[in-house]
Amino acid sequence: MATSKVEKVVMKFDIGSAEGSAIGAHKLGVLPAGAVITNAWTDATEDFTSGGSATVALGYTGAAAGFLAATAIASLTAAGQPIKSAQTAVDGITETDEYIVLASDVEVLQTVAVATLTGGAGFLFVEYVLNA
């Protein structure tokens, strides 16, 4: 019997850095080939703001909204509760669904749409095990 340990990756998305504020996809990190994603969730630590009606999506190469579908920034607040993803809605994953299995290394992406962000920060947490 083979054993695997659960890995957890934490990626920060911070609008204080000019890279993450413009409309478009912004790289947050890399998940390895063979990763079986079992859970993912976000935690906004600063309220997000923009000059318009900006949305933010979190995902990875090939599934830009794989963790969090495009969400109006008014919903991304630092008012306590993390925005739960995997158990309830991320990429449609629920406790009874299949997990995401990565065939190759993928870039994790924060995608800003509609308007440029002017503030906000948070974390994306991803738990996975490696297919040996």
Q: How confident is residue 41, by pLDDT bands cut at 50, 70 and 90?
A: confident
Please give the average per-residue pLDDT across 3-31, as a whole number: 83
Q: Looking at the predicted structure, is the pLDDT value of residue 55 above 70?
A: yes
Tokens matching residue 89: 């809605």
Contact (Cβ atoms closer than 8 angstroms) between residue 10 and residue 72 = no
Cα–Cα distances in angstroms (integers) from residue 97 to residues 2, 6, 90, 111, 127, in the given order? 23, 19, 11, 25, 16
Q: Looking at the predicted structure, is the pLDDT value of residue 86 above 70?
A: no
E strands, the chain, in order: 7-14, 24-31, 35-50, 55-60, 63-72, 83-84, 100-101, 106-113, 117-130
The pLDDT assigned to 36 comes to 87
Domain spans of the chain, in order of start: 7-130
Please give the average per-residue pLDDT across 119-130, as a whole number: 88
Higher pLDDT, 123 or 4: 123
Grouping H, G, I as helix, E, B as strand and the rest as coil, residue 53 is: coil
The pLDDT assigned to 112 comes to 92
Q: How confident is residue 73, by pLDDT bands cut at 50, 70 and 90?
A: confident
Q: Looking at the predicted structure, is the pLDDT value of residue 81 above 60?
A: no
Contact (Cβ atoms closer than 8 angstroms) between residue 2 and residue 27 = no
Whole-model pTM: value is: 0.80
CATH topology of domain 7-130: Jelly Rolls (2.60.120)
